[in-house]
Amino acid sequence: MTREVVLAISGGVGGAKLAVGLQGILDPGALGVIVNTGDDFEHLGLAISPDVDTTLYTLAGVANPATGWGRAQESWVFMQELARLGGESWFQLGDKDLALHIERTRRLTAGETLSHITAEVAHRLGVSSHILPMSDASVRTMLMTDEGELAFQDYFVRRRCEPRVREIHFAGAAAAQATPAALAWLDRADLTAIVICPSNPYLSIDPILAIAEWRRALELARVPVIAVSPVIGGEAVKGPTAKIMRELNLTVTNATIARHYASLIDGLLIDSADAVEAGAIGVPVHETSILMRTGEDKERVAAETLAFARSLA
């Protein structure tokens, strides 16, 4: 255990792996996670926040270990019945998961903020870390593709990331503000590092950076900002990161990731498989195995990330 206090910047499944590793090695309450809400959408009349929920379930230890999203030991009675009634069933909502969507929607409608609801649900689920939605305002990740403009979930779930991506933008980001409670983490005297998790930089981290306050906060951070690369050996560990990079005419390398985060990061964790790249990356790198399969992997990568940050402080 270490007395460090860490702020992570994260999307969903990939980012939550590192977040749970950080949680495992830090004191209870010493981790804050700024979470992407650009994937949020309304479905069946319910307000759904996929990345917030993945983070919540992962840090609570109740996430489905096979998929990374949704609940462990989930049942699908509702979904089967909805299909029988002719309802939309392309977005899977398990019976346990549904409780969160219904309760959140009810509370949002009653005027509570996403941040407040998330904090209370996290407390109910026994999570000591602070899960901080990037904003309480609506920001929506929109993809301009060869099939026209698609909202994130239409692209990601309904169309299984198949359309070619030409451009990505974040509707509402210009007007969105970070919450004061989340921003206050940057001013904490005991903050020791900021970690950009190995989420998709274009789909999961960029929505956060599209909010001016967050970009500026990272640029001006008084502590080292370390990114863990989402790329290993020219491929993404999971998801459409590499496909999107190619469609945006970017080489799938750590150098591209480092350039993407250029004014923000002080160091990049890359995989040992990419050691040959190290000299050409342009920021300090730390090489290790960054693939996180087991709980031990996650805590080891988390620990190496923090040690790397200390070495740059």
Query: CA 233, CA 269: separation in Å to the nearest integer?
Result: 13
Provide, rounded to whole angstroms, the least separation between the CB of residue 56 and a copy of itself: 11
Give min distance, CB of 145 to a copy of itself, in A.
26
CA dihedral 264, 266, 271, 276 (to 10 degrees): 110
Question: What does the alpha-carbon distance between residue 138 and residue 51 come to, in Å, rounded to a whole number?
Answer: 14
Stretch that binds a copy of itself, among 102-110, 166-174, 291-299, 305-313 (CB under 8 A): 102-110
Instruction: Answer yes or no whether residue 100 interacts with a copy of itself by CB under 8 A.
Output: yes
103 binds a copy of itself (CB under 8 A): yes
Among residues 6, 113, 99, 18, the alpha carbon closest in space to that of 53 is found at 99
Part in contact with a copy of itself (CB under 8 A); list of ranges 43-51, 128-136, 157-165, 255-263? 43-51
Integer Cα distance of 162 and 106 in angstroms:
34
* By the rule CB under 8 A, 111 interacts with a copy of itself: no
Given a contact cutoff of 8 angstroms between Cβ atoms, the answer to whether 71 and 96 are in contact is yes
Nearer to a copy of itself, 17 or 104 (CB): 104
The DSSP output letter for 26 is: B
Amino acid letter for position 43: H
**x-or-dash pattern for a copy of itself, window 117-146, by CB under 8 A?**
---xx--xx---------------------
Question: 96: which residues sit within 8 A by CB, 6+ positions away?
Answer: 71, 73, 74, 75
Q: Which is nearer to a copy of itself, 86 or 111 (CB)?
A: 86
Interacting residue with a copy of itself among 72, 91, 98, 116 (CB under 8 A) = 98
What are 11's two structure tokens? 């999307």
Measured CA to CA, the distance from residue 48 to residue 40 in angstroms comes to 6
Q: Shortest distance, CB of residue 138 to a copy of itself, whole angstroms?
A: 18
Which residue in this structure is represented by tokens 């040959």? 276
**Residues of this chain, 49-88, that bind a copy of itself according to CB under 8 A:** 75, 77-79, 81-82, 84-87
Binding-site ranges for a copy of itself (CB under 8 A) = 44-46, 75, 77-79, 81-82, 84-87, 95-96, 98-100, 102-103, 105-106, 109, 120-121, 124-125
